[in-house]
Amino acid sequence: MTVNKVIVTNLAVLQGKYSAGFRRVRDAIARLIAADKKRGLTTLHVAIDSAVDMRSAGGSPVTTASDRRQAKAAIDAVWTAYTPDYLMILGAPDVVPMQILRNPTRGDGDANVPSDLPYACAAPYSSDPSAFLGPTRVVGRLPDLLGGTNPAYLVSLLGTAARYRMRPREAFQRYLGLSAQVWQASTALSLAKVFGNSTALQTTPPRGPNWTNAQLARRAHFINCHGAESSPQYYGQPDGKEEYPVAHEAARLKRKVSNGTVIAAECCYGAQLYDPQDSAGQAGICSTYLADGAYGFFGSTTIAYGPSEGNGQADLICQFFLDSVLNGASLGRATLEARQRFVALYTHLDPTDLKTLTQFYLLGDPSIQAVGAVPHALSRTKAFKSAFKGAKTTTGGRAFRRERLARTGTNLARSVGATRPVKTRPPTHVTRALNAIAKESRIKELSRQSYAVSFPTSASSGDMKQFAATRRGRSVYVLFGEKITPDKVKRVVALAATVEDGKIVHMRRVHSR
């Protein structure tokens, strides 16, 4: 039997959370599987804590729900056994844990980075984020509420997924674009790239958080604001001032989000799943969007990064996600394509790039195709309709896409390098150069960090041999400093020197936002 989609969850945990109400969850899962069947998808429900289910998958059951190593091994086994087109993790991290990766930008306040990226990679369990540079799998998480006891929330999300319908591209052309005022140039650039214009950009201040019903009803939302841990609000910021007015809040979304909305949020902690008790019972913005009928939410678990001008890091990965969605990709494929496009931009991922890759993930059923792809004219011919009854693409279409994505991810894993923090001190001339730039730029030093850049051995095959020698001696040295802007606002600046065989070959200055 060909399995197109697998739903993985920990049944014992769900039963424990919802007690008698678990029956409603089980029925909702069955309805989703039935709805998938009508759409031509064979969906299998696998309990990773079930000895029977895991034996069928050739793996071991999860015996401790929070054991990340067990969860990764179980999901890998399920993937290998069924090679589905879509893998949906059902439940919040207290049902199926997120993988906890070492924070590549240590010192920024995040102890680590909770991530679903490892589930999208063939690489085995590791807490090293650089082990997961080559995602190949289409994965998303349909969450319930962390610590939840009422099944209504999860039943509602499963129902939205079961009843989903594809809409034409035009239904997503009118968007809601929210930005902290201080980042409006960067956000305008992102909107222009994704939608072809930035005319609907709204900034906080002066506006927000009381967005009109018409604005909130638009089906594509792109958000570039501040966010914070366990907070049901996003925040704006005026140019040149340390003020953070509320830009967007969960409590104002209820019954205002259109069915089918897709959101990309660059905000720090923008897609963090926290216990609503942390915020007097109010679930986060991402959870509230999904409860109100949104199909998918792409955001970050932790502190996110972006350059002071232009686009980078969070801007790019969010753009790539929405771009794929609008071009007709399923939400899960859009997530995988965004990750792959992001990694493919670089020879090696520096610490902030690596954190960006690990922290962004999809909340939603990965098999949902929110936007209908434009079919080829051939599909309107009688001969095509006869050959592929009722289909707008050939049956091999998705299989070819999965093959391409697997090839791309595999190649990335074999060819892209990553930085790892090391304790070595920079060469004297590098220290001198960083000090000179810091002095000229009036930057007061806060800290320094050295990184080694390493590549897999397969990254030096074929024409890549010519770069092998220089790569071996590549390292990155970063000076974090503080600068007072003319309007008296403190800004952290990172000066990064890339060094090869003792020579400085590249320098970059990254401003905090």
Partner 1 sequence: MILQGRVVRKRVSLGSKSEHEALVLVTADGEEYRLRRQEGNPFRDPELDVLEGKRIECEGIVRDGLVIMTQWSVLG
Residues binding partner 1 (CB under 8 A): 105, 107-111, 183, 226-231, 233, 235, 242-244, 246, 266-268, 274, 277-280, 303-306, 314, 352, 446, 480, 482, 490-492, 494, 510, 512-513
Shortest Å distance, C-beta 447 to partner 1: 8
Shortest Å distance, C-beta 105 to partner 1: 7
Which of 43, 179 has the CB closer to partner 1?
179
Where b means 16+ CB within 10 Å and e means fewer, 479-489 reads bbbebeeeeee
Which of 229, 500 has the CB closer to partner 1?
229
Shortest Å distance, C-beta 281 to partner 1: 10
CA dihedral (26, 33, 62, 51) positive or negative = positive
Query: Would you tell me how many other CB atoms lie within 10 Å of the CB of residue 125?
Result: 14
Q: What DSSP assignment string belongs to 25-76?
A: HHHHHHHHHHHHHHTT--EEEEETT-HHHHHHTTSPPPSSTT-HHHHHHHHH
Shortest Å distance, C-beta 460 to partner 1: 32
Shortest Å distance, C-beta 267 to partner 1: 8
Query: Which residue is listed with tokens 């930035």?
Result: 198
Q: State the virtual CA torsion across 226, 292, 252, 142 in degrees, nearest 10.
A: -30
Maximal C-alpha separation, the chain: 73
Which of 244, 467 has the CB closer to partner 1?
244
Q: Residue 471: what residue type? A: R
Shortest Å distance, C-beta 489 to partner 1: 10
| Alpha carbon distance 143, 141 (integer Å) | 6
Which of 18, 451 has the CB closer to partner 1?
451
Which of 266, 337 has the CB closer to partner 1?
266
Which of 143, 227 has the CB closer to partner 1?
227
Which of 376, 508 has the CB closer to partner 1?
508
Which of 226, 339 has the CB closer to partner 1?
226
Shortest Å distance, C-beta 187 to partner 1: 11
Are the C-beta atoms of 153 and 145 separated by less than 8 Å? yes
For the record, the structure tokens of 36 come out as: 């998938």
Q: Residue 73: what residue type? A: A
Query: Which residue is listed with tokens 């289910």?
Result: 53
Which of 110, 144 has the CB closer to partner 1?
110
SS3 assignment, position 202:
strand
Phi, psi of 191 (to 5 degrees): -65, -40
Q: How far is CA 137 from CA 94, 156, 323, 360, in A?
A: 22, 26, 19, 15
Which of 305, 451 has the CB closer to partner 1?
305
Shortest Å distance, C-beta 306 to partner 1: 5
Shortest Å distance, C-beta 496 to partner 1: 11
For the record, the structure tokens of 431 come out as: 């220290």
Shortest Å distance, C-beta 111 to partner 1: 5
DSSP 243: -
DSSP 167: B
Pairing of strands 474-484, 444-454: antiparallel
Q: Give me the count of residues in the chain.
A: 513
For the record, the structure tokens of 460 come out as: 């030096």
